[in-house]
Amino acid sequence: MSLQQLKPQIKAIVAMQNLSIDERLLDICKLLEANISYYNWVGFYFKNGDKDELKLGPYVGEPTDHTIIPFGKGICGQVAISNQNFVVPDVAAQDNYIACSISVKAEIVIPIFVNNENIGQIDIDSNTPDPFTEADERFLEFVCKEVATFLT
């Protein structure tokens, strides 16, 4: 299934007001992981209250010990500070990378903004080297904008 074909399904999940926020986030993770072959770990991190750290939210994939990530640490922690997308074609080439699994080869992190504030992010790990394209970036920006609509 193409990224464009997934957009209506994302909108349908977002519109399911009978589900909790976490249930909708998990359904989005499941949809992406099941339909995009190189999305091997899909999860959300959110700012942890007033602390300068991220807390793991719903995700699918291998369990991770990284349930709390300080701002500035790893790819997710850097996105929390920079407010910019971060695409890592080769995690082995990154100095400030937190390894979740030895099988991970690449990562993409896109921030989620609510009222112009970076409140979290979607984090995707891939076991495929350099799989992420500009199309993935644009699609995940769309996902984050949709997610922001029910986090307000």
Domains of the chain with bracketed CATH: 3-149 (3.30.450.40)
Query: Which range (11-20, 101-110, 115-124) has the least confidence?
Result: 101-110
Segment 125-151 shows an average pLDDT of 97
For CA atoms 18, 36, 138, 97, the dihedral sign is: positive
The sheet that has 53-60: what strands, in order across it?
A: 68-70, 53-60, 41-47, 117-126, 106-114, 86-88
Segment 113-121 shows an average pLDDT of 97
pLDDT tens sequence across 55-71 = 999 999 999 889 999 99
Can you give the pTM of this predicted structure?
Answer: 0.95
The packing angle between helices 3-14 and 134-149, to 10°, is: 10
- The DSSP secondary structure of 72-118, one letter per residue, reads TSHHHHHHHHH-S-EEES-GGG-SS---S-TT--EEEEEEEEETTEE
Q: Give the pLDDT of residue 94.
A: 77
Backbone angles phi, psi at 78, to 5 degrees: -70, -40
Q: Give the pLDDT of residue 102.
A: 78
Amino acid at 64: T
